[in-house]
Amino acid sequence: MQGATDHAIVAGILPGYLSVPSPAQTSLASHLAESTPKPLVPDTVNYWGNYPKFLISLLKAWFGDTVGPENEYGYHYLAKPAGDATWLSMWDQAHQGKLEGLVALGFNPLLAGPDVPRLLQAMANLKWKVVIDPFMLDSAEFWRAPDVDPADIQTEVLFLPATHWVERAGSFTNSGRWAQWKEQAIDPPDGVRSDTWILSELFWRVKELYEEEGGAYHEPILNLQWNYLNPREPRLEELAQEINGSDLRTGELLSSFGQLRDDGTTTSGNWLYTGSFTEEGNMMARRGTDDPSGMGFHHDWGFSWPANRRVLYNRASADADGQPWDASRPGIRWTGDKWIGDVPDYGPTTPPDQAGAFIMTEEGVARLFTTYLVDGPFSEHYEPVESPTPNILHEDVPTNPLIHWYDGVRETLANGRDDYPYVCTVYRVVEREHFVTSNVPYLVELMPDFFVEVPYGLAEEKGIENGEQVRVWSKRGEVQGVAVVTKRIKPLIVNGETCWTVGVPVHWGFKGITTGSMANNLTPFVGDANTSCPEFKAFLVNMEKA
């Protein structure tokens, strides 16, 4: 299945927001005890209390009859990393020479990550790299990047051409949590195989090596379930059914995650998607257009996780008696016997006074703050690591003190506004989906050239005319492109000083029908303290007419 996601993937979770075990959680019991929240007040629904059902059903989906209560459902097969696997940490390991190889699937990490010069060094330290993609993107030929001598690169790079998403069926999940099944639009070129086939072959060839030659820690590989009609290339419908889950006692597909059990009798590859492919068929392929609610719910169009619920925490839209706070926009309403409207948060016939609106929290109520942030329940404002202004909340702590600093990064940060007086931000443009569209002629024609968006007032100060070439540089590197002088980006007055911002789009590289500067030559190798999402949106640069 395919999903549209942001590249800053949340690391440290298993499917369905389940926790990756820690080294200290040496047993299934210890992991479940620390991962299953306890109710903090009486009669709280606390639906995360079902965590054991979700995890054990996942393990049964992965390892089938080879696991059960006698071997903790294969819990000991799961990796228990001491560090994190976020984007920055992964590439830092490569930068240190501690990461031997990498498989990039449908992704162009060289252009998608910060500090391209550092990324190029990291990629050059890999022994091998596999790129699975429809196009020979920049990451597949990083050794041909500007200012890189191919003779200095010893990394073995393998490119495996794969089908594009228009060349196969599957599903998309958007940010509204709608999973929508799509059909194949065109046939792939001769010799091009699906990524499902490629990953399946990779699994089988590793498994066959274990079977023929043996090897350490063989059980997770040999016991991994691969029960498909064509085991060398599973059908996407089979994978969707596996993700949905089934009742092992009856062999029937489940219709709701409420049917999951922690006794090993149910499976689910992702509990959130249980109900997306049931005995009634592929719910993601539904195309019903009726919407009696008038609220845009369209419950018969695709599937929305979880439980086909279109608005999370919709119980909050009604008062204590179950009547909508806003009668003109009724999310759900209690009739006296049942809820109507959207799929209710907890049970279609659960009376209004039986469950709160926030069934996933231990408290059962909304949270004004959270204890899950590393920088405290109430995070204060910190300036970006490169800022044109001091942090006026307390100037002695300008940036978040809990940022993780990687070796050598501080040396790549700007040092004062004199050398780097302008703020820069990186963004996308609507005409270009991302790097794939560098290979689509019509879209390239719509947006052909890399550019730098320069505010009108700043252009006047610098003597830059619309259409002229400009050079922008940071402590990491530089870009050059056409100046697009605009009034769209307004100057800011920050602590009494004018602050100019320039904009740089992220879609160009040295591969594609049209080429241009790599925007992330400019961005710093620094991440948010909680998510490690890189600081793409605010950093310091200088600029001049080229």
Quote the percentage of the chain above a pLDDT of 70.
98
* pTM summary value: 0.91
Candidates 3.40.50.300, 3.30.420.40, 3.30.1340.30, 2.40.40.20; CATH matching 410-545: 2.40.40.20
CA distance 503 to 429: 11
| HSE of 349, CA atoms in CB hemisphere, 13 A | 1
pLDDT category at 106 given cuts 50, 70, 90 is: confident
CA distance 310 to 355: 19
Mean predicted confidence (pLDDT) in 148-159: 95
**424 Cβ neighbours under 8 A, 6+ residues apart:** 472, 474, 501, 502, 503, 504, 522, 538, 539, 540, 541
- Residue type at position 370: T
CA distance 239 to 277: 10
Please report the pLDDT score of residue 508 as a whole number: 94
Judge contact between 361 and 46, C-beta under 8 A: yes
For the chain, the first-to-last Cα distance in angstroms comes to: 46
pLDDT category at 2 given cuts 50, 70, 90 is: very low
Please report the pLDDT score of residue 253 as a whole number: 98
Name the residue ranges covered by the structural domains of the chain. 410-545
**165 Cβ neighbours under 8 A, 6+ residues apart:** 2, 182
Integer CA distances (angstroms), 61 to 230, 247, 370, in order: 18, 11, 33
**182 Cβ neighbours under 8 A, 6+ residues apart:** 165, 169, 170, 171, 172
**149 Cβ neighbours under 8 A, 6+ residues apart:** none
Token pair 């590793």 is found at: 206
Q: Answer yes or no: is pLDDT of 10 > 70.
A: no
Please report the pLDDT score of residue 454 as a whole number: 98
CA distance 245 to 15: 13
Q: Answer yes or no: is pLDDT of 94 > 50.
A: yes
Q: What is the DSSP letter of 304?
A: E
